[in-house]
Amino acid sequence: MPFIMSSAISGIELAQQLAQVRTEVRDLQRTVESLRHALEAAHVEKDRAVRAAETIAGQEAAQLKVAVAALRDELEHAQILREQEVQRAQAAGQDEIHQLRTTVAALRDELEYASIEQQTQVQAALAASANETAQLKATAGALREQLEMMRTRQEQTVQDERLVAEQEKQQLRDTIEAMRDAMDEGRKA
């Protein structure tokens, strides 16, 4: 008889343990379902964040393209203006050189009949024309240097803007990677 009683007690305990195990299984199934919903929500949020980041990056890229186009137009306009200035300076220089040549020819004619004092005046005029020509060349060189400096500054500005855009993209990538890592840790937990 003790064997039967022991069997009945262990049957009751077994039924209780089985009921407890079934309850734990249901709880675990609910937890799994809840985690699955949370993971799906996290995926949806991550996809939304990625789309938003792509949209922002696309807008920034479009703005940068517009800025680059505007800078390019401005640079081209500046180059045209500089070229016009150089052409005007060259034309003025050529005109002045022509006038100086005419003056030199007239002075040569006078030199044939003039005294030493007249020769000194001619030499002074030639020196003045050489200085003016040198000044015009110096001006043209300075204009070229200014144009080159403008180009360099504009190229640096474009490079700086590209660098900022690249840094912002990298920050977005880092944020996405951090979110992925957090989600992975959430899944592991």
List alpha helices for the chain, DSSP H. 2-113, 116-188
What is the model's pLDDT at position 13? 87
Q: Which residues, 6+ apart, have CB-to-CB distance to 1 below 8 Å?
A: none
What's the pTM value of the predicted model, to 2 decimals? 0.31
- Which pLDDT tens digit goes with each residue over 95-125? 778 887 888 777 676 657 766 777 788 788 8
- Which pLDDT tens digit goes with each residue over 13-46? 888 998 999 999 999 999 999 999 988 988 989 8
The mean pLDDT value for 149-154 works out to: 92
Tokens representing residue 86 in the block = 């150089």
CA nearest to 139, candidates 151, 147, 78: 147
3-state secondary structure of 35: helix
Please state the separation of Cα 18 from the chain's center in Å: 67
